[in-house]
Amino acid sequence: MNRNKKLMGQNISLPKFDLNLLTLFKLVYFHKSVSKAADLLDISASAVSQSLRRLRVHFDDPLFVRHGAGIEATTFATRIYEELQKPYDDLLIKLQDLSPTRMQAQINISCPPYLSLIIMGPLTTIINRTSPECNIFHMIDDNFSEKNDEALTYRTMDIIFDIHPYYNLSRVSTIIAQDELVFICAKDHPRMKGVISREDLWAENFTLLGTDKAAVAKQQNEHTKILGAERNIKFSAGSSFAAIAMICASETVGIMTRRMVDMFTHNFPIRVIETDVKLPSMPIYMIYNKTALKNELLSSVIRAMENEYPDIDQKNQSS
């Protein structure tokens, strides 16, 4: 069987070819995981494996082979992905455009932990007010903006909140809030008293939020430049909650948003350090597909979230 002819559209009987298999194929290819694709599609891993078998028979190619603990795409599978990626994404967008406007039963939200405390409360109130019967599915992102962008393409996520915009012609990235960043320490820190100078801050050990998220790492580099020297990193925390616990139990200094500090000061012995060193504010972006505005519920939620934080001028970045 000539695989190239099949790829170029010859010998393909469309009534017999399930286009849903292409969505499944792209998820497996992108995530290099059958189980991850199954989770995103809300089906079993065995169902994904059965679908892959159908694709292997159709294209006469193994498509994916075992590689260590994961899987690796064959050369032919890579060619399929590269040639069909944009046309298939365009088809999904067109189908969304042709879908009738309707209220949906569930809104899927992706938001990292350090933004969830700020975002999810107001968002839940808005959705309950707009559509009390609507369910909310909140997913903590896995530090990869590319995967979140794919989630918007496949409509497995409706709205994403992040600290940087997504650059895609099909997306809208709008700043809905700016959060002030402050230096914090334990309330009983022996040296952080009065107004602290840049030099005194630089001399302290820091607790850093450890992440491979590019936007967070970029922001941390900016903070180092503001201090004028490389910081002494004593602890690296996997979450804001862990960072607070480590700061409370040590004489380290950390950086956190003002809103988060206000939430935690009643339960944790932390305080804001008085200093003339000014940190740049942290933007909070709401990212969604342009076609989401054609959906009555999503459109109303998006507009309400844009108006939720009155201290922000509407600064939209569409890309």
Residue 314 pLDDT class (50, 70, 90 cuts): very low
- Non-local (6+) Cβ contacts of 118 within 8 A are 177, 179, 257, 259, 260, 284
Question: Across the chain, what does the average pLDDT equal?
Answer: 81
CA distance 113 to 241: 9
pLDDT of residue 147: 67
Q: Hey, what are 8's tokens?
A: 């170029």
pLDDT of residue 288: 93
Residue 26 pLDDT class (50, 70, 90 cuts): confident
Residue 85 pLDDT class (50, 70, 90 cuts): confident
Lowest mean per-residue pLDDT among 82-91, 164-173, 307-316: 307-316
Residue 2 pLDDT class (50, 70, 90 cuts): low
Residue 230 pLDDT class (50, 70, 90 cuts): confident
Question: Mean per-residue pLDDT for 165-169?
Answer: 82
Q: What share of the chain is helix, strand, coil (3-state, %, to 5)?
A: 45, 25, 30
Q: What does the pLDDT look like over 34-78, one tens digit per residue?
A: 988 888 888 898 999 999 999 999 889 999 998 877 899 999 999
Residue 128 has pLDDT above 80, yes or no: yes
Residue 213 has pLDDT above 60, yes or no: no
CA distance 50 to 130: 40
Q: What does the pLDDT look like over 87-119, one tens digit per residue?
A: 877 777 676 655 544 445 788 999 888 888 889
Question: Mean per-residue pLDDT for 175-192?
Answer: 93
CA distance 172 to 106: 21
CA distance 192 to 184: 9
pLDDT of residue 318: 45
pLDDT of residue 69: 78
Q: What does the pLDDT look like over 233-282, one tens digit per residue?
A: 899 888 888 999 999 999 999 999 898 899 888 889 999 999 988 888 88
Residue 305 has pLDDT above 70, yes or no: yes
- Non-local (6+) Cβ contacts of 299 within 8 A are 292, 293
Residue 30 pLDDT class (50, 70, 90 cuts): confident
Q: Do residues 159 and 107 make contact, with C-beta atoms less than 8 angstroms apart?
A: yes
pLDDT of residue 104: 59
pLDDT of residue 96: 63
Residue 188 has pLDDT above 90, yes or no: yes
| pTM tops 0.85 | no
pLDDT of residue 218: 65
Q: Do residues 158 and 292 make contact, with C-beta atoms less than 8 angstroms apart?
A: yes
